[in-house]
Structure 1
Amino acid sequence: MPVFNYGQTSFEWEYRLDNKLKRHYVTVERGRKVLLRGPLVSTQEQEALVAQRARWIRDKIAQVNMPLVTDNIVTGSRLRYAGRSYFTEVSHQSALSKPSLHFTAARFVIYNPSGNSIHPDLLMPLLERFYRERAQEKLLLRLRYWERATGLKAAGASIRLFQSRWASCDANNYIEFHPRVMELATSVQDYVIVHELCHTVEKSHTKKFWSLLASHMPDWQQRHAVLERAVFGDAV
């Protein structure tokens, strides 16, 4: 297994051929080798792709290897939405058959039949459902706005879970967004949208792609930098 050295960090990586993909993706996950996936390229080109993302990979390795959150969510915990961290209240409601999550303008409220705390494993499906509903309500409308603003057009769009990507634009220009995009600030959500719209014209991250992106969003680099700090895989 090849090893890449970046400063004081060394990591094993592997390449997986996937001719269904039009570009290459790097995935960093806890306890696994760094994975490079995409169409057929030479060993030298594989190494160049890994080197191109070495700093990002180093930072993601540090993030995903942080201790897992195992503490229960209680009143006073914080949950993320639209780039902010919101106060969370956990309310014991013994009459309920299962927990539920609600959002007001200022806080999350969790009604829990089991007590005044809830384990993250029980919370995550509720939070994911919340993100999905908000994405259906807000993100797809925002996509329409950016289609009008840029003149770029998706064949369609939907919300679905990915293993380790924020969004995807397929060969038929159909765009899909991960529900977790709703964790991000609105300006970064817009970056994800415009990024994928640019892939309706340029499938790979060529100089032409980045120039097209810059023409529609001159400050894309600042928004991209914020996205880079989130724990997810990324395209190269």
Structure 2
Amino acid sequence: MTSVNSKEGSKEEYSFVYGDEAVPYEVVRKPHLEAKKRKITIKVHPNCEVVVTSPEDAERENIHQAVMKRAKWIYEALKEFRGHLEYVQPKQYVSGEMQFYLGRRYVLKIVEDKEALPSVKMTRGKLLVTLTRFNDNKTAMVRALVRNWYKIQAERIFHERLSELLPQATWVDGIPSFRVLPMSKQWGSCSAKGNLMLNPHLIKAPKECIDYVILHELCHIAEHNHSERFWRLLTSVMPHWKEVKSKLDGMAELYLNE
């Protein structure tokens, strides 16, 4: 294993060689607070992007060594995500396609009913979309109806789960506000003021995955970064979070697929 480095402008892009493959990765540097421990973290995204986050003053050699120590793990994670990508095709929004809701699979069925209003509902293992009539805008109409249906379900279920989980988050005062907003690489986020943002695609995952993301973001109200204290706090409210996170990561590409 060797490394190959290159830099274009202010964007740092490098790669390392594992076996006979060059694996590219991006380095994101962040300001380092004196009171916080210096740490280099590595994340492999479901779209097969490898991102390394490091203190802004970290030496390139130290970053390289951190990556090389986890080279095998990076390669295996990429291999797993690539396996998922082979089966993921862009949604066409036609009858017979697979949709997910709360971890279960449903078959999309589209029907025409001139007497009915456009609607979406679940029935007998199917996600049934009714259109008043089929025309050239059929695909766009189905996509819009399905997306809106997911958003409505997400707002309802996320509110229920947040209310259920709040008693565990004893460090949170009051009820945090949250918004449902599509994100390409995050399931959720927490602002400095403690406002939560949750990805509507998360509604496709099992409830325990939804709980993990909500608890993760609630922990950020107390600990704003991924420090050791943050992980200890998360473990205290969800001891098996690693298994749940792994389950969510493994299905991410399918859940996020539109």
TM-score normalised to the size of structure 1?
Answer: 0.75
* 1:40 corresponds to 2:56: yes
Q: Residues 212 and 245 of structure 2 are in contact (CA less than 8 Å); yes or no, is this contact kept in structure 1?
A: yes
Q: Work out which of the residue numbers 114, 129, 149 in structure 1 matches 2:134.
A: 114
Q: Residues 120 and 130 of structure 2 are in contact (CA less than 8 Å); yes or no, is this contact kept in structure 1?
A: yes
* Counterpart position of 1:4: 16
* Counterpart position of 2:189: 168
* 1:145 corresponds to 2:145: no
Distance 1:225 1:33, change over 3 A: closer
**CA RMSD, aligned part only?**
3.5
Task: Kindly state the Cα deviation for residue 68 of structure 1 after the two structures are TM-superposed.
Answer: 2.4
Unaligned 5+ segments in structure 1 are none
Q: Residues 46 and 252 of structure 2 are in contact (CA less than 8 Å); yes or no, is this contact kept in structure 1?
A: no
Distance 1:41 1:62, change over 3 A: farther
**1:24-71 deviation digits (Å, cap 9, x = unpaired):** 7847475x8544567635235654379487243443344346552465
Task: Kindly state the Cα deviation for residue 213 of structure 1 after the two structures are TM-superposed.
Answer: 1.2
* 1:197 corresponds to 2:218: yes
Q: Residues 6 and 58 of structure 1 are in contact (CA less than 8 Å); yes or no, is this contact kept in structure 2?
A: no
* 1:135 corresponds to 2:154: yes
Task: Kindly state the Cα deviation for residue 166 of structure 1 after the two structures are TM-superposed.
Answer: 0.6
* Counterpart position of 1:223: 244
Q: Residues 101 and 109 of structure 1 are in contact (CA less than 8 Å); yes or no, is this contact kept in structure 2?
A: yes
Identity of aligned residues (%): 20
Q: Secondary structure at the match of 2:252?
A: coil
Higher relative contact order (CA 8 A, sep 6+): 1
* Counterpart position of 2:110: 90
Cα distance in 2 for residues equivalent to 1:140 and 1:9: 45
Q: Secondary structure at the match of 1:199?
A: helix
Report how many residues are paired.
224
Task: Kindly state the Cα deviation for residue 191 of structure 1 after the two structures are TM-superposed.
Answer: 1.0
Distance 1:151 1:85, change over 3 A: same
Cα distance in 2 for residues equivalent to 1:138 and 1:222: 22
Cα distance in 2 for residues equivalent to 1:142 and 1:92: 35
Which one has a bigger Cα radius of gyration? 2
* Counterpart position of 1:13: 25
Distance 1:188 1:49, change over 3 A: farther
* Counterpart position of 1:101: 120
Task: Kindly state the Cα deviation for residue 190 of structure 1 after the two structures are TM-superposed.
Answer: 0.7
Q: Residues 93 and 142 of structure 2 are in contact (CA less than 8 Å); yes or no, is this contact kept in structure 1?
A: no
Cα distance in 1 for residues equivalent to 2:216 and 2:252: 18
Distance 1:220 1:29, change over 3 A: closer
Cα distance in 2 for residues equivalent to 1:104 and 1:163: 29
